[in-house]
């Protein structure tokens, strides 16, 4: 919901139009809320004469929370912030990569970023231990990170959409000190 920066939905980056979109956690911003968005044709296919009932369906409090989350994303320009701050973060990591050989790749969109670590750029061997050690160093320095990928060598960066460049600078400092110390 705006995290990708350039687009509101991740699938839009790939020029596809899905028949059904399901969304959960971000829609409620901590409140348990989910939604299904679909085409009118698919929605009408559920009109079989049998009513669908759900204990949680149509809860007015949840609906108000969901609407408020959408309003905040728009009113506070969080999608634009994701793009601007995400680019700032990726550029900062790429700059570090000029002098730190274990940074193999930086990719992503907006505030959905992956930093791939390698043992060295020539072999491109997964830097699983580097990633694990960096996550531990960051935790000890107040920054919480996690890894992803088949070899668990990709640092998964999905910070809150309200993050600014000041917080990114703190992250980049911890990242640089961590990579230089391990």
For residue 122, give the CATH number of its domain.
3.90.1150.10
In a domain, residue 97? The reply is: yes
Same domain, 87 and 71: no
In a domain, residue 5? The reply is: no
User: Which residue in 179, 117, 181 sits closest to 148, CA to CA?
Assistant: 117
Which domain-ending residue is among 28, 53, 75? 75
CA 38 to chain centre: 23
Residue-wise pLDDT tens digits, 112-133: 999 999 998 889 999 999 999 9
Residue-wise pLDDT tens digits, 2-52: 999 999 999 999 999 999 999 988 899 999 998 889 999 998 988 887 776
Same domain, 82 and 119: yes
Residue-wise pLDDT tens digits, 147-174: 999 999 999 999 999 999 999 999 999 9
Residue span of the structural domain in which 146 resides: 78-181
User: Residue 64: pLDDT band by 50, 70, 90 thresholds?
Assistant: very high
In a domain, residue 173? The reply is: yes
Reported in sequence order, the residue ranges of 32-180 that DSSP labels E, i.e. its strands, are 35-38, 103-109, 112-117, 146-148, 154-157
In a domain, residue 4? The reply is: no
């Amino acid at each position: 919901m705006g995290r990708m920066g350039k687009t509101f939905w991740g699938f839009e980056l790939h020029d596809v139009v899905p028949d059904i979109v399901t969304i959960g956690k971000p829609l409620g911003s901590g409140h348990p809320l989910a939604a299904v968005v679909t085409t009118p044709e698919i929605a009408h296919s559920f009109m079989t004469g049998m009513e669908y009932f759900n204990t949680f369906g149509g809860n007015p409090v949840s609906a108000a929370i969901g609407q408020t989350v959408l309003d905040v994303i728009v009113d506070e320009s969080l999608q634009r912030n994701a793009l601007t701050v995400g680019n700032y973060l990726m550029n900062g990591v790429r700059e570090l990569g000029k002098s730190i050989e274990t940074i193999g790749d930086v990719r992503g969109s907006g505030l959905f970023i992956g930093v791939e670590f390698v043992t060295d750029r020539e072999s491109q061997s997964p830097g699983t231990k580097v990633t694990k050690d960096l996550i531990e160093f960051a935790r000890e320095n107040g920054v919480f990170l996690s890894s992803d990928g088949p070899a668990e060598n990709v640092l998964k960066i999905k910070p809150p959409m309200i993050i600014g460049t000041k917080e990114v600078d703190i992250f980049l400092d911890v990242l640089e000190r961590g990579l230089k110390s391990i």
